[in-house]
Amino acid sequence: MRILLCCNAGMSSSILVSKIKAAAEKRGEEVTVQAVASSAVKEEVGKWDCCLVGPQLIFAVDTVKAQLNIPVASIEPRVYAMADGDAALDFAKKIVG
């Protein structure tokens, strides 16, 4: 699974990227995860299976979805704040179906 994380500057989600990678490794799952700033999303078309948007950008979910044409959803604030890699990975799998 290829997961893109999108936040304001691409920095605050870098901790969550590490936690998702660790959760996937612990489960023996193959996952590619990267964080980008919302301004760089248009350069990511065709590279990802889903996009998780930081809660501070919940207003941009529809725009990001239109740009990437993949499942896009806002991460629950508690999951984001706690950098809960397991919960974020489960959420990504859920929105991909």
**Catalytic annotation, residues:** 7
* CB of 10 closer than 8 Å to CB of 37: yes
Q: b vs e for 8-42, b when ≥16 Cβ sit within 10 Å of the residue's Cβ?
A: eebebbeebbebbbebbeeeeeebebbbbebeebe
